[in-house]
Amino acid sequence: MLAGSVVIFIGVVGAALVPLVRRRPGALPTRAMLIGGGLIFPAVVLMALLVAALLVGDRLSPRGEPGVLRVEAQARQWAWTFAYPDLPGRAATEGVLHVPVGRPFEVHVSSQDVIHSFWAPRLGGKIDAIPGQVNVIRLQADAPGVYRGQCAEYCGRSHAMMDFVVQAHSPADYAAWQAAEGPDQ
């Protein structure tokens, strides 16, 4: 989107400069600019963005497919707790969400107090954390590492400090973490 908008911006600025440089009427063909630039071009661009948005939205939506790891994210002022109902015996973690790499996981997001928003930008879109309601977002990390996340809905005094990380483990590391004893690791 950024690359496309830069190209369009340069084109628009260029078209606006043409009449200034070539100081005569009809420097640009009026009809072609109106119909082509004002009607057809935006329609094509917006359709392309609509298709892209629908595809991304579909990718982020839960599908009830088997083998997807389920994790739970509980927001509160001003921290995140992550629970692992699919991993019996595994204690909840504070501020760090542990996931396996290369495998989709669904985050079931809720809140204990006010509305927050779960957002790990490098993994995908954000989703609201609403008290009394569970929203689900489907994500996947394709490389091991740490993906920073942040509450994306203003939720009070320490909202800006309400961050978390998603730690994506290789399969062996994930098994080791899963087997590790004790809370908050």
Of 90 and 126, nearer to Cu ion (C-beta) is 126
Question: What whole-number distance in Å separates Cα of residue 173 and Cα of residue 97?
Answer: 14
Query: Which position among 155, 168, 169, 174 is part of the footprint of Cu ion (CB under 5 A)?
Result: 155
* Cβ atoms 101, 56 nearer than 8 A: no
Q: Parallel, antiparallel, or unpaired for β 135-139 and 96-100? A: unpaired
* Cβ atoms 124, 168 nearer than 8 A: no
Question: What whole-number distance in Å separates Cα of residue 61 and Cα of residue 180?
Answer: 31
Q: Is 73 in the site for Cu ion (CB under 5 A)?
A: no
Q: Closest approach of Cβ 134 to Cu ion, in Å?
A: 17
Of 155 and 168, nearer to Cu ion (C-beta) is 155
Q: Is 162 in the site for Cu ion (CB under 5 A)?
A: yes
Distance of CA 103 to the CA centre of its chain: 17
Of 147 and 174, nearer to Cu ion (C-beta) is 147
Q: How many residues bind Cu ion (CB under 5 A)?
A: 4
Of 110 and 140, nearer to Cu ion (C-beta) is 110
Q: Is 90 in the site for Cu ion (CB under 5 A)?
A: no
Of 153, 73, 71, residue with least CA distance to 112: 73
Q: Closest approach of Cβ 80 to Cu ion, in Å?
A: 9
Q: Is 169 in the site for Cu ion (CB under 5 A)?
A: no
